[in-house]
Amino acid sequence: MNFAVWICLAVLLLLAAWGLARRGATPAAPEAPPRELTADERARVLGLRNAGDKIQAIKLHRELTGAGLAASKHAVESL
């Protein structure tokens, strides 16, 4: 067999291995929707925001609710 045939076989084997590897991959679990803050949590977030620690308030909101960055930023700004 010549060199071109060996290259074609190698490419086919790599593609087959890649396809088999992807077939066994499991999809990521869906994320839970963000939850509402309790009164105490809201007071903590508001305290940080009112003290000028907006970034810490957003981080705390994300940690407590599971919301994304943009949603938490919007929520902290609208509290």
Q: 68: which residues sit within 8 A by CB, 6+ positions away?
A: 34, 62
- pTM equals 0.60
Q: 13: which residues sit within 8 A by CB, 6+ positions away?
A: none
End-to-end Cα separation, the chain, in angstroms: 73
Question: What is the per-residue pLDDT across 13-63, written as a single tens digit (0 to 9) for each?
Answer: 888 877 767 776 666 656 667 889 999 999 999 999 999 999 999 999 999
| pLDDT score for 69 | 93
| pLDDT score for 32 | 65
Q: Can you give 30-75 as a three-state secondary structure string?
A: CCCCCCCCCHHHHHHHHHHHHCCCHHHHHHHHHHHHCCCHHHHHHH
* Domain edges within the chain: 37-79
| pLDDT score for 71 | 92
